[in-house]
Amino acid sequence: MFDKEFEMIQGDVFNLNDLNKAMTGCDAIHLSISTANEALAAKIVTDSAQQKGIQLISTISGCTVSEENR
């Protein structure tokens, strides 16, 4: 499925130091945000990705719609 190695990182998107560390060396990122303020979290991540030169971002919106995903 993936032609390159990937690493899955779970963390707090509102912690900019952790976010910066997580994105260092990345070519692309995938978001699965489970917070009530999904729009703000996505903006923070996309702004950070832009600063790092990351051009490919994928996301799944509404990952907390189902109770079992909370």
pLDDT of residue 65: 62
Give the pLDDT score at 33.
78
At position 26, the amino acid (one-letter code) is C
70: its two tokens: 């909370």
Q: Could you list the pLDDT tens digit for every one of the 70 residues in the chain?
A: 456 777 777 778 899 998 988 898 888 888 887 777 888 988 999 999 999 999 999 887 665 565 665 5
Q: How high is the pLDDT of residue 60?
A: 75
Q: Checking phi first, is residue 14 left (phi over 0); if not, alpha (psi -120 to 50) or beta? A: alpha
pLDDT at 3: 65
Query: pTM of the entire structure?
Result: 0.71
